[in-house]
Structure 1
């Protein structure tokens, strides 16, 4: 914690008269709580660091007094805690204080606002009043007086000791300007006037003064709400709303960081030379597309083969932008975890991880070190909290974390402020279906236009309709593409289309023959049930050769063990190559850096097939590897890949490639992949894609982005946000005793490792068949279906 030296930061006489006023209760084992002065200093120190990250933000956002207003709000935000009743709560002498301390803090606004306009004073008051709760929750109790003899503001002011008021006044009069200098805030436009003389200042503290500020805030919010309602386009009122967003968002960030006692924020690493050194790269050995990315300003679309250094190119682009924050955005938890590990290795203590199970992921990483379970659990929660507090300069997360702001969930202003002047890297963008893509791209457009965000979208291939909507949304979009020499180097696969179903005996026999011949074979099925069937068949015929099964219906504990074993046997860094069989579902497309010899695959949309191809001969260090795609389309595939016509069109495109080229076994020219993809997205498929995308984007723009009123979250939208996730978790009945043992043991967090993700449709099916015991407050739902560490959860239907 940054405890200020009293001799430096406060006049000694003022310091002594304020030491008894706490802002935080004493921690266990400590005699005293954190003083109001200490907490305020910590908050303003964090505010200074946030300003240093974005020195040009006031000009870019057309709010020249932004840091000046925020500094004053931060200085006063907790002064209401000086009330004797609140101090009694902090010292454990009372259970609760029935008032809001931030409302009482408004009494002091007039002491530091005589040089401000009425509008600026109202924004200052609004930042203070809403640094904990939405304004509507504050206004309900204090805006109107129902009984003049029972005005809560009278009682609140009466609890301010006169000597404490004198001390607070002395703080401003003797040390306010000194704090501006000591914190180097004058360079950001911060100044602080002298408060009125004490008798006048004392007379200003009244219920009428507090209520005047509350009414002005209400009038400002009412005016903003009318602008939103009357606007035909959400972009019109957005700049005006931005004032409230940044004021509340940045103050909340600084307050939470100070309360977490996180210490100074880690500095970004935005130096091209540092990125090169940490990545083990030499300027003379960069690919042309990496050099182009390192010199590109603004929004970029980067296309290059898998394994051609796209991640390094993205980091070089980020270093060029020098953003306040970098968000590395991925669609799946497995790929997020892998990227977190990779970036953390490059930039220790500067990377955060944010997704629904990130606490558990961090706990597992810490348990692999010297931490005991209890310490690992505390440290994991602390790391997760810091990731959500704008602490780390780099964060790995999903776009759903970004969408939280658009859904106006509680704290959305802090999220939007965090995204201001940030850089975003979007990887695997092909993974989102058009409706969700509409929401994501609209949010990207909103952040780019109104908050100065910049985006790099990278992929081995990018469908042309997606490229078009990105260009329409982001405007100028620089294209960076690997050159012909890179594509010639990455000629890694030979393509065969096979008749029939992958599950037919003769086809499985070919799989077994390849494994017995010493090859490392990958089989990818479109459903868990099909993958389980292939693995059961193979393990009885290849009992002397390792056979692995990987899909999404394992619990976190078992899946982690499997992934580590598979990487050791068939990953990029494996030692001596030995025969192995890996049977997987779509999970293998994103989660593991595998490098096998042969692929057998169910038919799938072209983007998915290309991801599967990339798991064999990954770096192209061996002769082109065979990839076999089967032609049979099971009816269930249409429920997995909608519209189902995508799978048929993808097969037709591959047929045309072979017919117009060398025929079966033709080496894939990866420079042609974009043309293949454009052939898939044509005619009816293209029309369906455009219809779904544009309808979702338009609805989202009007219903969500068009209603972003600062200082007012919308809990009603929380359910709609939750519906974006088609899944929940259940506990297999076979693991119930182990779950209870973990919950009651020294590391209760480990109990969550035993839960298995399933889709909502599967959840309701199990419930309807009586195969699910509903969850309680203390226990998750229990699935009464078989589960073991080798096969995973066995749901009795042919579903993915």
Structure 2
């Protein structure tokens, strides 16, 4: 320190500033400079072992070729705000040597206490402006001020009180000395030498901020970085040794690194073990031709192999543009599990060790056997800490809950605990999870930068993108803007999209890519179906291209017979009778309805009518274990290559609508918007080579959930209207009428006429969707007034729901032009404290509650799936604990408020990492529990049953 020209008093004072207190650091004080150097050393390891080539290239560009040292500096300087009276006074024991060195403080005035992250911004901003100028300083200081999860505004840094600067010049001298000593230690001649020669784009700043947080959290693990209380032991060389050892013990790593560019478009498809189809080759060829990272929209029939093609395209994109991993976003937890298996196999084809770098991101992953084998055999899930770092005294390892022993023994092929913690899953090299995790990165919530850092440097694939409704789409659009600005390639997959939605998604990505909110580049109409649309920007100029030559689907279009089955009653007796008739001589029927009660009733009617043992019920009110078991059974009996039973009926809700790779001989479906009905049709005659009964050799769909009303006006199921609204249902009913050859016949008159033209699938799919949501007249003239009124209501609701979502997106339109992260969290975090809150935030704003169902027995409790619990509910042994968790089920929305008030964990669950925060629904010995004004039971076949008392 003296060699840098520091006065002895300043050097002496700097050598006693503490960064980690002994009370919260395994009994050993860690000096502030030591923690800064530890973090810089971790950043250096991350540069070498973790950062994507694309990110390193950008950091090299803005630092004048010194990206590694600059990354070390910006990560390490994060805690400079601890060199303030406000922080040093927080621990009376640690404060003693600080005061003895001549750094004093008085009694604080009542009011706000300054957190050390914001204090760091106050301390560093004027030093950077002096050394670098206002523009360069303006985008760097928020990286420091926001490292605890929220970016303050410029205004919050003004009028810094005595808590930060103290009285006299001693504090200012030691603060400047800390910055200078650290800057010199990481390899710069002085603060001026650190000045960036350019600026990162705002999205790149967000990703960098997340990497700062990552480096800080790793360096804050006291089991890897024990405290150093003597200044003579603090050095960068020592920090480098500690960081290397800690990184190795944690087992962390990146993904591919520098991936070799495939030799041909066929090569990455061959890796996936597929015989290339035209549509798959078209996608890979298109990403080969893109001159810059961009957005690719793939529209192809169900079963076309879109996801495999997307993985092949991801390999090409990663190799060409320096990406180091992939995140695959799926619409549901159920669809994530089979994709996880596929991505694990794909990752292993590059390097067997990469299997351990694939994260499964959803709340039920514990029930995925492959996930548990790869990840949880050697480590438990990290948990979010309950304490807040209000004034910066709480150490990061305690606050953010990855424990004190995460550097313990680790299997070499798994990154183990660190990536399992809350908010960190996306940081793994390869991830598969619900689309929620992508949308979380577009919310104005705490630590959003950590989530976004997990997307930057990857290829992002979003499957079934049509499943995002208007509310969710606001977050998807926001995510696309940020990903476009960060240069992250995105592949969107869908059976088909309404043209207006496709245009919105393309415009969002291009707006980010060129940094303007008003970009609107017309998307050319594709030449045929399947189709690929690509959008990118080069030097500020945008380009949008669609398939100019029609691409053949892998299987030819077939006529699907469309018939009416009038029934608008929840009981579903008409449907059950028709199903019995359809498969009386054998065959496999799929029944997809819009309401759980209706599914339960149809199931019960079929069983009582002689189909016992031949019907399977699948819906969202099954407990986790039952739902997983039934889904697996469906795939085993109806999936590709299955030996199918002679007769089988699956009665399901919308769970069977997406990424459900089963093959049915005949389909019964409640009326739904046309694009969703076509998704259901995609389960019909899906697999080639399947032997079918003589009467079911042609694909046939019977549309129910609707009946005739007065003057030929359709009557819809109340549940269908509540879910989908009337206007899309009217348009769908009109298109079904065209295909069926007429309007719904009178209720009770049997199935409708089969003389209509039906649908040619997949040939007509894009046109049907475009007509359903377009401006052209579709409905019969007598429906016109009703349709017009319904459209007005529908559009108003869309506008209201979009506006509601806009309250929570990461930036509002007027904020997009801001070049820095300052003030990003202005307006707060909207009460988001738990993962369930965040899920509700991006889904529809309505939070539902999951509970664990247990049974009361004499002397204690029992798991729903069997197994006696202790007198207070404690699980004895891993097998019983597994059965307890298998009883997890989601309650209907109407019970949310009562469940929040009435239900709580059993006493014996306290401290359990999985059950400690779970609400227990206790079923008494008569089989019923009470939630609010409802009786709730669980039938081992029907699932959750709710009755009003």
Q: Is the 8 A contact 1:598 1:626 kept in 2?
A: yes
- Number of the residue aligned with 2:937: 786
- Number of the residue aligned with 1:71: 72
State the distance in 2 between where 1:148 and 1:429 align: 49
- Number of the residue aligned with 1:625: 699
Q: Is the 8 A contact 1:294 1:319 kept in 2?
A: no
Structure 1 residues 791, 63: CA separation in 2 closer, same or farther (over 3 Å shift)? farther
Which residues in structure 2 correspond to 1:134-149 (within 5 Å)? 134=150, 144-146=160-162
Deviates more, 1:718-727 or 1:310-319: 718-727
Task: Using the TM superposition, give the Cα deviation of residue 265 of structure 1 relative to its aligned residue in structure 2, in angstroms.
Answer: 1.6
Q: Deviations over 1:739-762 (max 9, x none)?
A: 665754455686444232134334
Which residues in structure 2 correspond to 1:283-682 (within 5 Å)? 287-295=280-288, 297=290, 298-322=294-318, 324=323, 326-347=326-347, 348-355=355-362, 357=363, 360-361=366-367, 365-367=370-372, 382-385=418-421, 388=424, 390-420=426-456, 422-437=458-473, 439-444=474-479, 446-447=481-482, 450-473=485-508, 474=510, 475=520, 479=526, 481-482=529-530, 483=550, 485-486=552-553, 489-491=556-558, 493-500=560-567, 505=573, 507-542=575-610, 545-590=613-658, 592-622=660-690, 623-630=697-704, 631-632=706-707, 633-659=715-741, 663=755, 666=758, 668-682=760-774
Deviates more, 1:457-466 or 1:293-302: 293-302
Q: Deviations over 1:14-70 (max 9, x none)?
A: xxx99x999798999999999745543122221454363424435999999987654
Which of 877, 888, 910 aligns to 1:755? It is 888
Q: Deviations over 1:109-158 (max 9, x none)?
A: 99999864455356555433442364659998996345899759968998
State the distance in 2 between where 1:62 and 1:40 align: 16
Structure 2 counterpart SS, 1:131? coil
Deviates more, 1:604-613 or 1:738-747: 738-747
State the distance in 2 between where 1:59 and 1:494 align: 61
State the distance in 2 between where 1:267 and 1:422 align: 11
State the distance in 1 between where 2:431 and 2:477 align: 21
State the distance in 2 between where 1:602 and 1:797 align: 26
State the distance in 2 between where 1:61 and 1:691 align: 46
Q: Is the 8 A contact 2:364 2:624 kept in 1?
A: no
Structure 2 counterpart SS, 1:54? helix
Across the two proteins, how many residue pairs are aligned to each other?
715
Which residues in structure 2 correspond to 1:13-92 (within 5 Å)? 36=35, 37-47=37-47, 49-50=50-51, 52-57=53-58, 69-78=70-79
- Number of the residue aligned with 2:186: 176
Q: Deviations over 1:624-660 (max 9, x none)?
A: 4322222435431343433223223213212213439
Which of 849, 860, 867 aligns to 1:729? It is 849
State the distance in 1 between where 2:42 and 2:68 align: 16
State the distance in 2 between where 1:443 and 1:757 align: 29
Structure 1 residues 795, 82: CA separation in 2 closer, same or farther (over 3 Å shift)? same
Q: Is the 8 A contact 2:360 2:371 kept in 1?
A: no
Q: Is the 8 A contact 1:115 1:193 kept in 2?
A: no
Q: Is the 8 A contact 2:592 2:653 kept in 1?
A: yes
State the distance in 2 between where 1:278 and 1:24 align: 52
Which of 247, 252, 258 aligns to 2:213? It is 252
Q: Deviations over 1:232-269 (max 9, x none)?
A: xxxxxx99855864553332233345557453322266
Q: Deviations over 1:419-476 (max 9, x none)?
A: 4465432322222332432x13531452255333443322222223322333444455
Q: Is the 8 A contact 1:641 1:647 kept in 2?
A: no
* 1:710 is aligned to 2:822: yes
Task: Using the TM superposition, give the Cα deviation of residue 74 of structure 1 relative to its aligned residue in structure 2, in angstroms.
Answer: 2.2
Q: Is the 8 A contact 2:673 2:724 kept in 1?
A: no
State the distance in 2 between where 1:549 and 1:142 align: 62
Q: Deviations over 1:176-204 (max 9, x none)?
A: 33xxxxxxxxxxxxxx22589xxxxxxxx
Q: Is the 8 A contact 1:521 1:598 kept in 2?
A: yes
State the distance in 1 between where 2:471 and 2:300 align: 26
Task: Using the TM superposition, give the Cα deviation of residue 570 of structure 1 relative to its aligned residue in structure 2, in angstroms.
Answer: 2.1
State the distance in 2 between where 1:109 and 1:353 align: 40
Q: Is the 8 A contact 1:735 1:754 kept in 2?
A: no
Q: Deviations over 1:698-741 (max 9, x none)?
A: 77668842457536534343469645343422437654633665
State the distance in 1 between where 2:164 and 2:283 align: 70
Deviates more, 1:331-340 or 1:149-158: 149-158
State the distance in 1 between where 2:888 and 2:828 align: 28
Task: Using the TM superposition, give the Cα deviation of residue 605 of structure 1 relative to its aligned residue in structure 2, in angstroms.
Answer: 1.9
- Number of the residue aligned with 2:255: 266
Which residues in structure 2 correspond to 1:88-107 (within 5 Å)? 103=119
Q: Is the 8 A contact 1:550 1:584 kept in 2?
A: yes
- Number of the residue aligned with 2:5: none
Please identify which structure carries the higher helix content. Answer: 1
Deviates more, 1:409-418 or 1:306-315: 409-418
State the distance in 2 between where 1:155 and 1:744 align: 55
Deviates more, 1:364-373 or 1:454-463: 364-373
State the distance in 1 between where 2:723 and 2:65 align: 50
Structure 1 residues 662, 67: CA separation in 2 closer, same or farther (over 3 Å shift)? farther
Which residues in structure 2 correspond to 1:157-306 (within 5 Å)? 176-177=186-187, 192-193=188-189, 245=206, 247-256=208-217, 261=247, 262=250, 263-267=252-256, 271-272=261-262, 275-281=268-274, 287-295=280-288, 297=290, 298-306=294-302
State the distance in 2 between where 1:667 and 1:136 align: 56
Task: Using the TM superposition, give the Cα deviation of residue 553 of structure 1 relative to its aligned residue in structure 2, in angstroms.
Answer: 0.5
Structure 1 residues 61, 580: CA separation in 2 closer, same or farther (over 3 Å shift)? farther
Q: Deviations over 1:160-185 (max 9, x none)?
A: 9xxxx99x988865x633xxxxxxxx
Q: Is the 8 A contact 2:853 2:920 kept in 1?
A: no
Greater relative CO (CA pairs within 8 A, separation 6+): 1
Q: Is the 8 A contact 1:290 1:312 kept in 2?
A: no
TM-score of the pair, normalised by structure 2 = 0.63
State the distance in 2 between where 1:256 and 1:389 align: 14
Structure 2 spans left out of the alignment, 5+ residues: 1-13, 99-112, 193-198, 222-246, 348-354, 384-414, 511-519, 531-549, 691-696, 708-714, 743-752, 776-787, 864-868, 906-915, 922-930
State the distance in 1 between where 2:768 and 2:648 align: 32
State the distance in 2 between where 1:468 and 1:141 align: 41
Deviates more, 1:670-679 or 1:781-790: 781-790
Task: Using the TM superposition, give the Cα deviation of residue 576 of structure 1 relative to its aligned residue in structure 2, in angstroms.
Answer: 4.9
Q: Is the 8 A contact 2:131 2:191 kept in 1?
A: no
Task: Using the TM superposition, give the Cα deviation of residue 413 of structure 1 relative to its aligned residue in structure 2, in angstroms.
Answer: 3.1
